Chains A and B, each alone.
Chain A
Amino acid sequence: MSGKTLFDKVWDQHVISEIDNGPSVFYIDRHFIHEVTSPQAFDGLRKRNIRVFRPDQTVATADHNVPTIDQHLPIKDKLSRFQVQKLAENCEEFGIQLYGLGHQYQGIVHVIGPELGITQPGFTIVCGDSHTSTHGAFGAIAFGIGTSEVEQVLATQCVLQRKPKRMKIEVNGPLAKGVLSKDIILYIASKISTSGATGHFIEYTGSAIRALSMEARMTICNMSIEMGARGGMIAPDETTFEYIKGRKFAPKDAEWDQALEKWRQLYTDDDAEFDTSYQFDAADIVPMITYGTNPGMGIKITETVPDSPDNTKALEYMGLTPGELLLGKEVNHVFIGSCTNSRIEDLRLVASLVQGKQKADNVQAMVIPGSKQVEQQAKQEGLDKILEEAGFHLRQPGCSACLGMNEDKVPAGEYCVSTSNRNFEGRQGPGARTILASPLTAAATAITGRITDVRELI
């Protein structure tokens, strides 16, 4: 019998029972909720007249629909205000911990879980948000669910799930200067396409992945869904343990030692088998950008827009032509933020690049910290001053222009180089044209006002 993958090990520990020819009853260790995909689930509980089964295993925050300025004032938009208020009422009624607007731990759900030490190796984690895959960076099985499933977890701490197939993506070798983990994942997505991992759970391995910080690993796992995967995970190692140690909800003292012992068992056995495997060489990866309307439509920043009949609709939307070089193209908006790239390391990278420089006059550059803690840390380190002096607008935490649910939107027809995860039509506002890139590429573009190869600036 062959060995087990990391995914198999964690999966098998959480299956309570299996329906014949059907899904498994799958136990959930931690559940995150936010204002947009939870209200209908709470209504469902009320209709059935049931309580939340394990309120201590659910944590709430307001992120998708919150303004990123003047958060101390009531939310101006009536519907947004109502939705955020509804979350507070539901948490109060059902006894769930809420890190709401103004709380020192508020922030994007996939930023606060890890930084509070709630996210831990070997856990199963769900949230009504597809980027829940982020938490897989810690060796957790983490995936996005719909609102009906949010209700299932609230009611029973379980979801019904069918076991996905296993995919291995290995990246080996050192990364070149100016190349970030965002470039790795945009590169992988460009190779296997926006649907290439559908039905699979990915494990990322290889020396290039092992060398990454936890923040950088989160960026990779975050975008697993952009290839259609349910999630992606990375085996925990010393980097992981070092990150978790001492965080608010991390195990302490004797419990820490026990946890560590357990976590060290979380790796893929040498003789384990995957359904699908890919191998990439880090030497092939350079700064990446997207040209189309799904995250799989990426190119090396030095390449031209591919000529393919499949691209016609996307290029029409993007106002681009086949054979066009994007490098040097004027861009009026830069968005640095989202659950993909809004952590302290991202802000440090941006600040280090723009220090002593000035953004181009044609550019509006917005930096949205992922959480109150990131915002606080940035201020302590003086990053806020550096960004401000360079003409970047450091705002308050939230999902912001990644999905344009609040007032942070990109105007129709205009280009935005964005560190977020989706370049779908209208994602950043009706008619907005999104170009996905790393925080360094975004920062470099803000400085020159044109799509820029960051390697020329460092």
Chain B
Amino acid sequence: MEPLNIVRSTCVPLPAEHVDTDQIIPARFLKATTREGFGDNLFRDWRYHNDGTPKPSFVLNQTQFEGKILVAGKNFGCGSSREHAAWALYDYGFRVVVSSFFADIFRNNALNNGLLPIQLPEAYVQELLAAIERNPSLLAVVDLPQQEFKIEGGQAIKFDINPYKKSCLLQGFDDIDYLISQQDKILEYEQNKI
């Protein structure tokens, strides 16, 4: 996993609520057996017509919006557990998703792949979405060590992250590295299990 520390970028606004992982990456694109390349089909059916031509109204097809930070409506990532959703967002180039509410499995999947989910108050996210729409070149700064999000020149807002997960992201460590280091305890547990 790539470490993540400070991200300074313009933002992409996606005000839709309850964005489920079937929208992020539809099931028919889950046939690959590697983790790469899913970005091409990120938001496939919102982004492209059935014949593969882009839908101009979708934000990823609007050249004024680009960046490493996706700002989305509440309950982002609900539905299927497919980690392909996190892979697709990451592969496309996103490193941070901001929303007022995340689905549990998506949040874990994102954190396990170096994609930072930042939960901020609904009113703040709504203002942020409006500000990006008004000025697409607005720069945001995500400071993971300080757990702060801000629009450059603006007031910083704190966000929560589990201290363990924070240190994993900062160092690029996987959970699996930690679990393997716990093997003795796992064996002991198995022996004592009735």
Contact = CB atoms under 8 A, between A and B. Distances in A.
Interface of A: 16-17, 19-23, 25, 27, 36-37, 39-40, 43-44, 48, 50, 53, 64-65, 77, 79-80, 82-83, 86, 128-130, 132, 144-149, 151-152, 155-160, 162, 164, 194-195, 198-199, 225, 228, 230, 294, 310, 313, 403-405, 412, 422, 424-427, 430-431
- Top-7 shortest CB links A-B: A22-B164, A146-B83, A39-B33, A144-B81, A146-B109, A79-B31, A148-B112
B179 A86 contact: no
Contacts of A427: 22, 27
Contacts of B86: 146
A151 B50 contact: no
Interface string B92-136: 000000000101110011001100000000000000000000000
B154 interface: no
Nearest to A44: B176
B163 A160 contact: no
Given A17-B185, A152-B176, 17 more contacts: A22-B165, A23-B162, A36-B82, A53-B186, A83-B33, A86-B33, A148-B176, A149-B108, A149-B175, A155-B179, A157-B186, A159-B179, A404-B27, A422-B80, A425-B22, A426-B45, A431-B50
Most B C-beta atoms less than 10 A away, residue of A158, A194, A405 = A158
A198 B81 contact: no
B183 interface: yes
15 contacts: A36-B31, A53-B186, A83-B33, A145-B81, A146-B82, A146-B86, A147-B84, A156-B176, A156-B179, A156-B186, A195-B74, A228-B103, A422-B20, A422-B79, A427-B22
B182 interface: yes
A40 B179 CA distance: 18
A16 B45 contact: no
A412 B27 contact: no
Nearest to A29: B193
B10 interface: no
A422 B81 CA distance: 13
B18 interface: yes
Contacts of B33: 39-40, 43, 82-83, 86
Interface string B23-49: 100111011111100000000010000
A156 B183 contact: yes
Most A C-beta atoms less than 10 A away, residue of B22, B30, B104, B185 = B104
Interface residues of B, number: 52
Nearest to B165: A22
Contacts of A158: 179, 182, 186
B72 to A, nearest CB: 13
Contacts of B137: none
B159 to A, nearest CB: 16
Nearest to B45: A426
A21 B18 contact: no
B91 interface: no
Interface in B49-66: 50
B174 interface: yes
Contacts of B105: 130, 144-146, 230
A146 B24 CA distance: 15
Given A37-B82, A148-B112, A194 B179 contact: no
B30 A405 contact: yes
Contacts of B35: 40
A217 B189 CA distance: 31
Contacts of A16: 182, 185-186, 189
B20 A294 contact: yes
Contact of A195 (B22, B80, B101, B112): B101
A426 B23 contact: yes
A155 B104 contact: no
B75 interface: yes
A25 B103 contact: no
B78 interface: yes
Contacts of B174: 148
Given A21-B164, A294-B20, A130 B80 contact: yes
Contacts of A149: 108, 112, 175
B75 A198 contact: yes
A130 B27 CA distance: 13
A172 B139 CA distance: 54
A79 B183 CA distance: 36
B16 interface: yes
B185 to A, nearest CB: 5
A67 to B, nearest CB: 13
Nearest to B106: A146
A25 B164 CA distance: 13
A25 B45 contact: no
Contact of A83 (B20, B31, B103, B185): B31
Contacts of A20: 163-164
A23 B163 CA distance: 10
